[in-house]
Chains A and B, each alone.
Chain A
Amino acid sequence: MSAQVAQVELAPPPSGPVPYPREFSIQLLTDMVRIRRLEEKCAELYGAGKIRGFLHLYIGEEAVAAGALPALAPGDNVVATYREHGHALVRGMSMNAIMAEMYGKREGCARGRGGSMHLFDSATRLYGGNAIVGGGLPLATGLALAARMQHEDRVTACFFGDGAVAEGAFHESLNLAALWKLPVLFCCENNLYGMGTAIERAESQTDLCAKARSYDMPALSADGMDIVSAYETTKEAVAMIGQGPVFVEYRTYRYRAHSMFDAELYRQKAEVEEWKTRGPIHTFTARLKAEGKLTEEEFLALDARAAAEVAAAVAFAEAGTWEPVEDLLKDVHTP
């Protein structure tokens, strides 16, 4: 079987002015670097057998979580998928809690019951970590319903992939949210593949915004490799939420395998390389440098801080303890 190449016209690398003060610009960059460093370490730890199970890396897609989440308020809800390390981190979960969870340790956010795919954090209103494709969309719709009925000024941001668009849950949820005018931000991370299936092999209509618009909701498309586009588009979408749900497509690309068990027979290396020219971190770094908002020394320093944070998280996870087996049945029900 020949490799399938996603038929997309590659836009030029993100460029142009960064319309933010230095501090915020550097925060955006720092979050992308933190995700990247965390996940590179995860891949290494997977090879070493420290992390087991399924591990889905977000490498290449960092601008989406790092750009979209700062556009939300602390009181907003977030629902994510199994590719959610970045979302958890940017939302404010500590790297320690994330890493310990991946180690399966008691100090992890879910005390080792969830692992990589099920990061939860009540403090930052992160409702998973859902590993059923499309499974988060009905849930997000209900969280938004609760907010509306209780007169809470809260947006529920629901992240999901292009693959989820083929699920009934997508269509049922968009319809319900639009019908009831619920404050849901549907955030579609379109990385052009669902596992090995390119979007044009899965969708009769590959314009995902057109699908959302058919449910009578506004739909915006962002360049998911450009953190400025991700942030601006999300901000614009959040501002539109008052009248009902909004759909945002982030056009992005995953550089690594779907999970750790993927021979990548479905795409060509050249395609991945081409997308790397649009890399969210190096293009943004170059723009900040060009504007004089960042020096190479500053970049190296923030990169070193991220690496140190990762090293500390690994040490924390290593030193962590195992949930006692006597507590296996704890929390099947609420005590």
Chain B
Amino acid sequence: MTRKLGYREAMREAMHEALASDPRVFLMGEDVGRYGGTYAFSKGFLDEFGPERIRDTPLSELAFVGAGIGAALGGLRPIVEVMTVNFSLLALDQIVNTAALYRHMSGGQFSVPLVIRMATGAGRQVAAQHSHSLEGWYAHIPGIKVLAPATVEDARGMLAPALADPDPVVIFEHAGLFNLEGEVPDDCTVDIAGAKVRRGGTAVSIITYGGSLPKALAAAETLAAEGVDAEVVDLRVLRPLDTATIVASVAKCRRAVIVDEGWRSGSLAAEVMARIMENAFFELDAPVARVCSEEVPIPYARHLEEAALPQPEKIVAAVKGLFA
């Protein structure tokens, strides 16, 4: 059986389930309590679970992310909500220098079972300081897992395995997806092990993640109407990357376009491309193409912002370029 669910409600249900089923789980972050969550993901939680487990924090990203790490070391299972990836830069030290390193640096003595959630991405005309897509930075760091739920099912299902993971997991929720609706199975169990093919095809593999997934699917529809049968791969797990699924899709389609809202230079798209070169070079009928954000601070004005970001039309054009 399936049911219709929105992305926000899916996130809310996932957190609710975690809080209700495990007393070690608590939620901490800016305005998660009285305000009900910046994006209303935790509306009503304060009344239901109380201020000990739904903790409004001061504007201290470094301290409350670090406190989440300490609380995880101390036996709890914190969900730390950082309002957006843009502000996570103030907490980067704790994530990179503590959470990611502690297990290895301590010779296996201390694991950090922490989940950090944050909104990411552009597309809402909130200008340069609120529009970053830095998933690729985080995916660079050994010691953390990086997830990008791009469907309602993943929004509903990824939190539970993330909390069950004994190591730090960072979840990026693209703000452009929050109004997404979808059918989810009643038992919404998903893995956080690898990528998924969201649309089967044979002519070109479009590989993407997060907020770009709906754009890639829209591009695939357009291409289908023109007789190009595109496959769409949703990476889902940005670290560790699922090389096998990427390579299988590319080997089948023999052409690939990578769509990434991060900037092109040093991007996650570059990493995917490198893996294709390493593992599927001789399967290719054309050079691999990329659709990334333009290398510019994301502007406010709608037409400029749209021009700066990956769009279905750009993806269609990139695919056609491979057949030219």
Contact A120 B106 (CB under 8 A): yes
Contact B52 A149 (CB under 8 A): yes
Asked if A176 and B71 make an inter-chain contact with CB atoms under 8 angstroms apart, the answer reads no
Q: Once the chains are docked, how many angstroms separate the CA of A143 from the CA of B69?
A: 8
Task: Say yes or no: is B167 at the interface (Cβ < 8 Å to chain A).
Answer: yes
- CB of A70 within 8 Å of the partner chain: no
A92 at the interface (CB under 8 A from B): no
Choose from B71, B90, B110, B111 the contact partner of A145 (Cβ within 8 Å). Answer: B71
Q: Are A120 and B109 in contact (CB under 8 A)?
A: yes
Question: Nearest chain-A residue to B63 (Cβ)?
Answer: A172
Contacts of A318-335 to chain B: CB distance below 8 A: 330-334
**Chain B residues, CB < 8 A from A332:** 103-104, 142-143
B110 and A122 contact, CB distance less than 8 A: yes
Does B64 have its Cβ within 8 Å of any Cβ on chain A? yes
Within B73-108, the residues touching A (CB, 8 Å) are 73-76, 78, 90, 93-94, 97-98, 102-108
Known: A168-B62, A176-B64, A332-B142. A146 touches B107 (CB 8 A): no
B67 contacts the other chain (CB 8 A): yes
Chain A positions 144 through 185: 1 when the CB is less than 8 Å from some CB of chain B, otherwise 0: 111101100000100000000000110011011001000000
Q: Cβ of A142 and Cβ of B69 under 8 Å apart?
A: yes
Interchain CB contact under 8 A, A114 and B106: yes
Q: For A196, list chain B residues within 8 Å (CB).
A: none
Indicate if the CB atoms of A175 and B109 lie closer than 8 Å: no
Contact indicator A110/B63 (Cβ below 8 Å): no
A169:B63 contact, CB within 8 angstroms? yes
Task: State how many angstroms separate the Cβ of A139 from the closest Cβ of chain B.
Answer: 4
Say if the beta carbon of A111 comes within 8 Å of chain B.
Answer: yes
Count B-side interface residues using an 8 Å CB cutoff.
Answer: 41
Contact of A110 among B66, B67, B94, B106 (CB under 8 A): B106
Residues of A within 8 A of B111 (CB): 334
Residues of A within 8 A of B76 (CB): 145-146, 149-150
Q: A120-B110, A135-B98, A150-B74 in contact; A110/B105 too (CB < 8 A)?
A: yes
| A138 and B70 within 8 A (CB) | yes
User: B63 and A331: CB pair below 8 A?
Assistant: no
A56 vs B113: C-alpha distance when bound (angstroms):
31
Q: Are A127 and B73 touching (Cβ within 8 A)?
A: yes
CB distance from A120 to the nearest CB of B (A): 4
**Interface assignment of A130: CB less than 8 Å from any CB of chain B:** yes
Q: Are B143 and A143 in contact (CB under 8 A)?
A: no
Contacts A142-B72, A176-B58, A176-B63: A121 and B104 contacting too (C-beta < 8 A)?
no
Residues of B within 8 A of A333 (CB): 103, 143, 145, 166-167
Q: Are B109 and A145 in contact (CB under 8 A)?
A: no
In the assembled complex, how far is the CB of residue B280 from the closest CB belonging to chain A, in whole angstroms?
A: 24
Residue A41 at the B interface, CB < 8 A? Answer: no
Contact partners of A118 in chain B: CB under 8 A: 105-106
Cβ of B68 under 8 Å from chain A: yes
- Compute how far the CA of A169 lies from the CA of B145 in the bound complex, rounded to whole angstroms: 25
In the assembled complex, 26 residue pairs joining A and B whose CB atoms fall closer than 8 Å, in A order, are A109-B107, A113-B104, A118-B105, A121-B109, A128-B106, A130-B98, A135-B93, A135-B94, A138-B63, A138-B67, A138-B69, A138-B70, A138-B94, A139-B66, A139-B70, A141-B66, A142-B69, A142-B72, A142-B74, A143-B70, A146-B75, A150-B74, A168-B90, A173-B66, A175-B63, A176-B58
Question: What 20 additional pairs, Cβ within 8 angstroms, besides A149-B52, A172-B63?
Answer: A77-B74, A110-B109, A113-B106, A120-B105, A132-B97, A137-B63, A137-B66, A139-B73, A139-B98, A141-B67, A142-B71, A145-B74, A146-B70, A146-B72, A149-B26, A150-B75, A172-B60, A176-B58, A331-B103, A333-B145
A-binding residues in B (CB < 8 A): 26, 52, 57-58, 60, 62-76, 78, 90, 93-94, 97-98, 102-111, 142-143, 145, 166-167
